[in-house]
Amino acid sequence: MRFSTTSALMALPLFASAAEQVPLEGPLFYIKAEFQKYADLAAPFIPHWNTYDAAHAAAAKAGGSNIDILSLNNWKSTLRNSVTPNSAKPEEWWIFVTGGNKTCFGHCGNSESAFNETALLFKADPTAPHMGMVNCDLQPILCNSWATGPPALYIMEVTPGNQPVEVHFPRFNASSITAQDMVKMHTTNSWKETEAYEGYFHPFDGELAKYGLANVVGWVLFAFNVLPNWLFMLLVSFASRSIMGKRMQPGLGGAVPTRGGAAPAGGAARR
């Protein structure tokens, strides 16, 4: 029977819910207490691959910043739905990729604050772009499917239907950028000076996205990041030993020929 660690981790909340119905006496009570102890110890190490707080996202959208919080489930529909079939020009989106201590190591504070302040300034500008944000601590699959990491700024020109989407990655100094710098970037269109991205990890038009493999690759990269190095090397060692063991076994794929011809069957001597 194959045991999946990921499945077991995802099942922990179900076990905990069932454990809450155990009476406060008898052997099941002690089993529940023991399980709860180990669950509390394991909780900080369980990776969150698609955390989305709908209330926080609604507040960010309805509040002064007017920023869409993007997730693995809603990013594409959010961007595509901003464009009507009769739109004469593409809708401009600025998507800031941020993170916490796990993915940005505390270096996103200044640039994230500048992005939030820019969103407030853009409210008075009718030509301002749509604003979105992805947190790689909470959305590691999405970030890995785009092969991106914080801090980063995506500027996309989203078109109607399935037409190509132009994506740019303007460079900026994360430690010193200000809201005024971002506003200037918009008013001068200086972000268009960077070459449009056309690689495999293009969110809309890359080869991975076209063949539906972007999320698969995101999961694989996420798994490699979650697995400890020693466990990965152990799995590689087991796999290589298994492959070499099968190749060395006699009788698999026929007998090994000698220089003089085929080996005589049953060890009989040649005549």
Q: Is the pTM of this model over 0.75?
A: no
Q: What is the pLDDT of residue 249?
A: 61
Kindly tell me if the per-residue pLDDT of 33 is higher than 70. Answer: no
Q: What's residue 48's pLDDT? A: 61
Check whether 178 has a pLDDT greater than 80.
yes
Collapsing DSSP to helix, strand or coil, 94 comes out as strand
User: In the prediction, which pLDDT does 121 show?
Assistant: 93
Q: Tell me the β-bridge partners of 132.
A: 68, 95
pLDDT above 80 (res 38): no
Q: Supply the pLDDT for residue 28.
A: 58
Average pLDDT in the chain: 78
Least confident segment among 41-50, 207-216, 222-231, 250-259: 250-259
pLDDT band, residue 239 (cuts 50/70/90)? confident
Return the pLDDT at 256: 47
* Least confident span in 3-12, 96-105, 199-208, 238-247: 3-12
- The rounded distance, in Å, linking the Cα atoms of 75 and 145 is 12
User: Would you say residue 20 has pLDDT above 60?
Assistant: no
Range of lowest pLDDT (25-29, 43-47, 206-210): 43-47
Above 80 in pLDDT, residue 242?
Answer: no
* Rounded (5°) CA angle 179-183-184: 115
Phi/psi at 41 (5° precision): -70, -35
CA 89 to each of CA 15, 58, 159, 163, 204: distance values in angstroms, whole numbers, following the listed order: 52, 27, 7, 12, 18
User: Ranked by mean pLDDT, which of 81-85, 123-127, 165-169, 235-239 comes out on top?
Assistant: 165-169
Least confident window among 10-24, 62-76, 143-157, 220-234:
10-24
Q: Taking Cα atoms as reference points, which of 188, 183, 55, 184 lies closest to residue 119?
A: 183
Across the range 130-148, mean pLDDT stands at 95
Section 109-129 average pLDDT: 93
pLDDT confidence band for 217 (50 / 70 / 90)? very high
Tally Cβ neighbours within 10 Å of residue 113: 13
